[in-house]
Structures are given as structure tokens and as C-alpha cells.
Amino acid sequence: MSKYVIDQPHVTAIPVRGSDKSFPIRRIYCIGRNYAAHTIEMGGDPNREEPFFFQKNAQNADTSGEFPYPPESQDVHHEVEMVVALKGGGKNISVADALSYVYGYGVGIDMTRRDLQGVAKEQRRPWEPGKAFERSAPMSEIVPVSDIGHPDTGRINLSVNGDLRQEGDLGQMIWKVAEQIAYLSRFYDIAAGDVIMSGTPSGVGPVQKGDVIHCEIEGVCEMTTKVI
Ligand code: MN
């Protein structure tokens, strides 16, 4: 007999390269405006002001290779990002120690209902309807640090139907991965299973049903998803 009054909710987990075990997700943190060129395209100031984060739900992660166009939006944008998967955490982690908590890396898309996000910004409301919707975080498999180390430079790109839309380099991040972990740990208890989406380079834009989206971090991994 279950010890819960309802069936236990599903644990969302993503595959790990070279393993028959998967990585269970606890939380998804996403940093905003972390590449200068994207900050400018969104009307922000690319100088190094305090970082800011929002969250998606763990259940929003998806590795099916299909992205169902979500309801209540006519302007859904792709944002390709490096995914950082944590195997541990704590509070007040130092920048020097932060990378020791990383299990592995992948590539993902911070799918965004840009029209709803725009309304939220205008009305000073929360971003969840724009960011944290069903299957809004398509992700690749996770590649363990034991295989690839900690990539801090390398091309990150996204194409739609073969046309290059987004291109940048991990080295262009305003806040590096270690700094993101350290910063988050001042505000939250960071723990194994937490995932950080580390920001998007410039070139974000809309997707349509039928589009085939391919994204890649050179030397790390790639992923394809189809908008259905
Ligand atoms: Mn993003």
C-alpha cells in the first residue's frame, strides 16, 4: 500500500550519456540576460548588474524530441542554453568550490511564450505563464563531468529548419557557471538534482508548428526537437 493518499507524482529525469541510469530533476533555475548581445536585443543594459533568476518546474523538462506548441500564445520563442546539472549543493557556496557540485552538462531550450512574458513585464506580474509551462524545457542527455570536464568556452548555436538563428560562445557569459551557483546559494538551498539553464546568446526568435530545431554546444552535445 502506498504511504501517500494519492499516487506519488512522477519524477522527471533525463538520460545520462554512457549510463543506464538517469538524472532526476529537483528544480530548474534559469538566469536572465547572461550574454551581452542578447541583453541588448531585449532592451537591457549589458553592463554587469546583479544577475537575476526565475524558475521553471522540474516537470517542464522534456527529452522526447517533440515540443507541442503551447496554448494561449501566438509568439513562442527559442532560447538555446547550456544546461548545468548539480550533484550536490548547500548554502553560501564559494565561487572557488562551486564547480565541484556539478554532475554534468547538456544543451536545452528555454522555450518562452514571449507575448505572455511581455504582458507580465508590463503589468509587473510574475513570469511563470511565459516561462514555466508544459514541456517548456526541451533538453539533451546530460554528459558527465568525468567525460568532458567543465566547458567554459565553445560554440553554442541553434538552427531552425537548417537556418542558423542563434550563435555565441560559452566564454561570452556575463556570469560564469560557478558564479551562478554561488549567487543562487545565497538565496536558496542548492541540492542534488537542481539544474541551471545558464542563459542564451542573441538571435532568439519565434517557432512555428512543423519547425525542426537543432541545437549544439560544440564538443559537449547536441539535440533536435520538432515543434508539433
Ligand atoms: Mn533564457
pLDDT tens-digit map of 58-100: 999 999 999 999 999 999 999 999 999 999 999 999 999 999 9
Phi, psi of 28, rounded to the nearest 5 degrees? -125, 115
CA-wise closest residue to 159 among 213, 225, 226: 213
- Tell me the C-alpha distance between 116 and 129, whole Å: 6
Q: How far is the CA of 111 from the centre of ligand 1 (A)?
A: 8
pLDDT digits over 23-40, tens only?
Answer: 999 999 999 989 988 788
The C-alpha atoms of residue 17 and residue 49 are separated, in whole angstroms, by 36
Q: pTM above 0.75?
A: yes
Question: How would CATH label the architecture of 13-227?
Answer: Alpha-Beta Complex (3.90)
Q: How far is the CA of 7 from the centre of ligand 1 (A)?
A: 33
In this predicted structure, the answer to whether residue 47 has a pLDDT above a threshold of 80 is no
From the CA of 53, how far away is ligand 1's center (Å)? 9
What does the block give as the cell for 103?
554532475
Q: What is the mean pLDDT of the chain?
A: 96
Cα dist from 154 to 52, 101, 108, 206, 220, whole Å: 24, 21, 15, 25, 9
**What's the 1 CA to ligand 1 centre distance in angstroms?**
42
Instruction: Tell me how far the alpha carbon of residue 5 lies from the centroid of ligand 1, in angstroms.
Output: 37
Q: Quick one: pLDDT at residue 40?
A: 83
State in Å: Cα 91 to ligand 1 middle: 24
Specify the pLDDT at position 202: 94
> What are 99-131's pLDDT values in tens digits?
999 999 999 999 999 999 999 999 999 999 999
Look up residue 83 and give its DSSP letter. E
110 CA from centroid of ligand 1 (Å): 5
Query: What pLDDT is attached to residue 125?
Result: 95
pLDDT tens-digit profile of 129-181? 999 999 999 999 999 999 999 999 999 999 999 999 999 999 999 999 999 99
Structure confidence by residue, pLDDT tens digits, 178-192:
999 999 999 999 999
Q: Which residue has the higher pLDDT, 39 or 4?
A: 4
Q: What cell was used for 186? A: 545565497
Q: Which amino acid is it at 192?
A: A
| Centroid of ligand 1 to alpha carbon of 56 (angstroms) | 10
Query: Is residue 1 scored above 70 in pLDDT?
Result: no
Q: Backbone phi, then psi, for 119, in 5-degree steps?
A: -60, -45
- Residue-wise pLDDT for 181-223, tens only, equals 999 999 999 999 999 999 999 999 999 999 999 999 999 999 9
Residue ranges per structural domain of the chain: 13-227
Q: How far apart are CA 192 and CA 26, in angstroms?
A: 7
pLDDT band at 46 (very low <50, low <70, confident <90, very high): confident
- Between the CA of 78 and the centroid of ligand 1 the distance, in Å, is 9
How confident is the model at residue 141, as a pLDDT? 98
Chain centroid, CA 95 distance in Å: 20
Average pLDDT (11-17) is 97
